[in-house]
Amino acid sequence: MKKLTLAVAAAAALSIVAPVNAADAPPPILRAPPTPWVELGSNWYLRGDFSYRMFDISAADGPPDTAVLGLGVGYQFSSWLRGDVTLDYQFGSRFAVSDNPIVANGKMWSSAVFANGYVDLGTWYGVTPYVGAGVGTAYNHLEGEGRWNFAYALMAGAAYHLSQNLSVDFGYRYADLGSAVAFNNSLIDVTAHEFKVGFRYKLD
């Protein structure tokens, strides 16, 4: 009977001590879920273009032709909408400017920065036609006289997907590059028709 009493007393003591020990125990460590991986390169792309530019200048004796190189970076917002920022450099083009009674030969360089937006019109057999427009600024330098201008452009073309990341782009662009200072300090409008070929590479 004495042993039974001691056993009951020991059990009662353990029932009192156990909750105390549980209260003193450190809380369980909750680990935060892993941070999801974000692909910073997704939907960004690089582009490079070569253009054949034909100026449409009313004061010029015969439309001069020249070449333009362009570089840019863009982002694909959705399957049908994208945008990019491009920098164009036009090689010097020599032509005759007539403004009675002044007739002189001139050489013009032009650089332009455009912010462009495009609407992709679906893809068929790897070909994606598009239309677009851009606004920016152009610097026209004609024989020692330079001028900054507001510029805009209208584009249309098609891209052929060589792979998941690489596309070749064929397009047309009408560019209004503002004006240039002629030899008698008058302004001549500078517009051009361009035929472009280039590549777009999507970053991963």
Q: Can you give the pLDDT at residue 22?
A: 47
pLDDT in tens, 155-185: 999 999 999 899 999 999 999 999 888 777 7
What pLDDT is stored for residue 199 in this prediction? Answer: 97
How is residue 42 annotated by DSSP? Answer: T
Per-residue pLDDT reduced to its tens digit, 19-40: 544 445 566 666 656 655 444 5
- Let me know: does 155 contact 171? Beta carbons within 8 Å: yes
- Interior angle at CA 201, CA 197 and CA 204, nearest 5: 170
Q: Which residue has the higher pLDDT, 7 or 133?
A: 133
Which residue has better confidence, 25 or 134?
134
- Residue 65: the pLDDT is 83
Q: Which domains does the chain have, with CATH numbers?
A: 44-202 (2.40.160.20)
The 10 Å Cβ neighbour count of residue 28 is: 5
The pLDDT value given to residue 185: 75
Q: How confident is the model at residue 94 (pLDDT cuts 50, 70, 90)?
A: confident
For residue 191, the tally of other CB atoms under 10 A from its CB is 16
Q: What is the CA radius of gyration of the chain?
A: 35
At 162 the pLDDT is 95
Q: What is the pLDDT of residue 93?
A: 77
Share of the chain above pLDDT 90, in %: 54
Q: Which residues contact 115 (CB under 8 A, 6 or more apart)?
A: 83, 84, 85, 134, 135, 136
The pTM (predicted TM-score) of the whole model is 0.73
Which is more confident, 130 or 141? 130
Q: Is the peptide bond before 101 cis (omega within 30 degrees of 0)?
A: yes
Identify the H or E element spanning 90. strand 81-99
